[in-house]
Amino acid sequence: MDTLTRIEQALQNALALAEGTGGPPKLAAALRHAVFPGGARIRPQLCLAVAKACGDPDPELADGAAVAIELLHCASLVHDDLPCFDDATTRRGRPTVHTAYGERIAVLAGDGLIVLAFQALAHAGRHSPARLPGLLSIVAQRVGAPTGIVAGQAWECEPYVGLAAYHRAKTGSLFSACTEAGALAAGANPERWQSFGLFLGEAYQVADDIRDVALATEMLGKPAGQDIALCRPSCATEMGLAGAIAHFDALLARAVGAIPPCKGAPALRALVRAESERLVPEATVRAPALAA
Amino acid sequence: MDTLTRIEQALQNALALAEGTGGPPKLAAALRHAVFPGGARIRPQLCLAVAKACGDPDPELADGAAVAIELLHCASLVHDDLPCFDDATTRRGRPTVHTAYGERIAVLAGDGLIVLAFQALAHAGRHSPARLPGLLSIVAQRVGAPTGIVAGQAWECEPYVGLAAYHRAKTGSLFSACTEAGALAAGANPERWQSFGLFLGEAYQVADDIRDVALATEMLGKPAGQDIALCRPSCATEMGLAGAIAHFDALLARAVGAIPPCKGAPALRALVRAESERLVPEATVRAPALAA
């Protein structure tokens, strides 16, 4: 089974834990709407790629970690899209959850996805619970306060925030959850894998800033120019487009340099290169920006 | 240490996991605002009372379960108070989280508390992870979809819902989490303790309906008459005040009858009696309602 099929199957199994007869239909539909069809599934791919690089001795546990992280990412998107935050009406080219099901169901769907993430991880570790406390702790720390993605979003409510701290919390933290949890699920030392995830996540956030400025709405699948419209800290507005692209390249180089020596390193480097082109495409972003 | 002191201490320890330098200050303040000072702490009290009734061989794990449930309860209150739900400005006689810190921080504080609940439970089980998958599964099922408190709240967005199913999901489920998790944390069979929690939780929700109709705002610490104002399913409006009180008494009797035989049964019965008087006081609710 290829990795993307493995991820979709594991997500389907997780959603099944939250479904079943007797539940409110709108909530069930909203949970599914938030998770399927997905985006690039880069986070669970990264988690499983690291687990594979470390031997992948417990694939069910690695799947549980990957799914938990993806569900938490989906939850953060549902809540970030709410009227009180981005007030976004579209996401991945479809109506956002609150647009389709109302604001109340969107709040609850986000909550339900957070709960489901931990439920799925616990379920995946039911036969081998020894690594569960560590995995749960990594995932929770990278999502919650004071330095996870919830904290990253909360920095937008503060009068001042440094760009690096903001990016690290808002995006880097969940990427480091991927690499750390992928390693721990495979019995490897998670600390050795943290920097790889942090640099990759920071690069991802910078790419998001770049794309927000450089690409039109129809290519993004969500409204473009939101960072400027919402006065959000943005690398592309702070450094200029060319400066932001140079920063993105430097972060990716640091991410590649932080991959610990292992048999799976070439595959991980290939994954990073493919993401680089997917996130900041030569033809539509890089060349036009550098020619401008 | 008495039980309430034990609970407050365990909650303080849990909050410390979400604090520390480098986090956004408003989020940290909002998390604390949502948890301290608390209400009656009836859920963690119930969880620990059941753990004690079962011998309490692993107090740290029981504390972790009790704290997780209370944090999830606090999270549900923060989100239920949001403008899109109850739009409540006061809770326990103080400003609600969104009134004090804004709607965005309130959404994030609720999210952060859900994450912290699972983090605290995992932390409490780090030395003895064997019971963690079961505990996490109980707590997640009683909170998430399709039948937990998130689902209970989502029933308010459906055109029709039966009152018993709604009450069971909205309140009963988290009370059964208390009794089941308290039992499992102490190594007892959680299924034997489920009914006790469910009946008690249903009684608690009925009491909430009764108090919403019978008591004035200053006694409730939140606006009275909200169920009618928000067209929410309510026992007191459906059965009348006297009928609702009779239903409350019957549910408490069934709860007491569902306590499994154990050394701690007398203490549990005393806890139920004390709650009965606290929830539906003779002088201010029961006598005036039955005289009307």
Walk along chain B (292 residues) and give the pLDDT tens digit of each residue: 899 999 999 999 999 999 988 899 999 999 999 999 999 999 999 999 999 999 999 999 999 999 999 999 999 999 999 999 999 999 989 999 999 999 999 999 999 999 999 999 999 999 989 999 999 999 999 999 999 999 999 999 999 887 777 878 988 899 999 999 999 999 999 999 999 999 999 899 889 888 888 876 556 666 667 766 666 667 777 888 889 999 999 999 999 999 999 888 999 999 999 999 999 988 888 888 777 6
Chain B residues closer than 8 Å to A105 by CB:
154, 157
Chain A residues closer than 8 Å to B71 by CB:
none
Does residue B155 sit at the A interface (CB-CB below 8 Å)?
Answer: yes
Chain B residues closer than 8 Å to A159 by CB:
none
Does residue A100 sit at the B interface (CB-CB below 8 Å)?
Answer: no
Predicted confidence at residue A99, as pLDDT, reads 98
Torsion sign over Cα A136, A142, A145, A146: positive
Predicted confidence at residue B138, as pLDDT, reads 98
CB atoms within 10 A of CB A282: 10
Q: Which regions in chain A score pLDDT beneath 50?
A: none
Residue pointed to by tokens 């959000």: A232
The alpha-carbon gap from B137 to the nearest alpha carbon of chain A, in Å, equals 6
Quick check: B34 and B77 in contact, CB under 8 A? yes
Domain of A86, in residue numbers: 3-291
Predicted confidence at residue B285, as pLDDT, reads 84
The span from the CA of B92 to the CA of B261, in Å, is 36
Chain B residues closer than 8 Å to A61 by CB:
none
Q: Which of A21, A79, A158 sits opposite B111 (nearest CB)?
A: A79
CATH value at residue B118:
1.10.600.10
The vertex-B72 CA angle with A179 and B220, nearest 5°, equals 155
Task: Dig out the tokens for A95 from the structure.
Answer: 């109506």
Does residue B35 sit at the A interface (CB-CB below 8 Å)?
Answer: no
Residues of chain B numbered 170-229 and touching chain A (CB < 8 Å):
none
Cβ contact (<8 Å) for A112 and B145? yes
pLDDT digits (tens, 9 = 90+) for A77-108: 999 999 999 999 999 899 999 999 999 999 99
Residues of chain A numbered 134-153 and touching chain B (CB < 8 Å):
134, 136-137, 140-141, 143-148, 150-151, 153
Q: With 0-12 CB in 10 A as exposed, 13-18 as middle and 19+ as buried, what is B3? A: middle
The span from the CA of B166 to the CA of A209, in Å, is 44
Task: Dig out the tokens for B147 from the structure.
Answer: 């039948």
Does residue B67 sit at the A interface (CB-CB below 8 Å)?
Answer: no
Give the nearest chain B residue to A86 (CA atoms).
B104
In chain B, the number of structural domains is: 1
The alpha-carbon gap from A162 to the nearest alpha carbon of chain B, in Å, equals 11
Task: Dig out the tokens for A122 from the structure.
Answer: 């616990």
Give the nearest chain A residue to B125 (CA atoms).
A133
The alpha-carbon gap from A220 to the nearest alpha carbon of chain B, in Å, equals 25
Q: Which of B75, B132, B155 sits opposite A133 (nearest CB)?
A: B132
Which of A35, A119, A160 to probe by mutation at the B interface, max B CB count within 10 Å? A119
Q: How far apart are the first and last CA of chain A?
A: 44
Q: Which of A23, A79, A132 sits opposite B107 (nearest CB)?
A: A79
Cβ contact (<8 Å) for A133 and B156? no
Does residue B103 sit at the A interface (CB-CB below 8 Å)?
Answer: yes
Predicted confidence at residue B199, as pLDDT, reads 93
The span from the CA of B253 to the CA of B173, in Å, is 18
Does residue A1 sit at the B interface (CB-CB below 8 Å)?
Answer: no
The alpha-carbon gap from A133 to the nearest alpha carbon of chain B, in Å, equals 5
Quick check: A154 and A204 in contact, CB under 8 A? no
Chain A residues closer than 8 Å to B108 by CB:
79, 150, 153-154, 157
